[in-house]
Structure 1
Amino acid sequence: MTEHGFEHPDVIICPGGPLLLRGDHVVEDADGVAHETRRPVSAVCRCGKSADQPWCDGTHKVLPARDRP
């Protein structure tokens, strides 16, 4: 158990899906714009198809398996 009470790492890779970030993070998008997150868990797009970049909107779920991260 960590000092914050979590037994999981701060970054979790979801196979075929997003990166899950636990706690406060700064995510830089493709244009170099920094986005702060203060949610308990945030999902970052890895497929590149989300309409809400850099955040995951679930688009990866409708992609063919060969196009998923």
Structure 2
Amino acid sequence: MSAPRCAVLLCADGPLVVRGPVTVEDEQGAVHTSERSVVALCRCGLSAQRPWCDGTHKRAGASGG
């Protein structure tokens, strides 16, 4: 059986939207795993729930770069 597929969508001035199971390793080496079918990854660095996006970029007017 093949591994589940993962697709990534880059949102302008917003998060990376990932469809499919995802495991993220942050800069400190901590591993964050989600089995949700869709997750959003923070790109602005302002989320209180990093690596997951919590929408803070909208309130702060952050650009996705």
TM-score normalised per structure 2: 0.81
**4+ aligned runs moved over 4 Å, structure 1:** none
* Cα RMSD after superposing both structures: 1.6
Larger mean Cα displacement after TM superposition, 23-32 or 43-52: 23-32
Per the alignment, residue 37 of structure 1 pairs with 34
Q: Which has the larger radius of gyration?
A: 1
Report whether the alignment pairs 1:23 with 2:15.
no
Whole-angstrom distance in 2 between the partners of 1:32 and 1:18: 21
Amino acid at match of 2:63: R
Higher relative contact order, chain-length normalized (CA < 8 Å, sep 6+): 2
Give the paired residue count.
60
5+ unaligned residues in a row in structure 1: which ranges? none
Any conservation in 2 of the 1:51–1:57 contact (CA below 8 Å)? yes
Structure 2: segments with no counterpart, 5+ residues: none
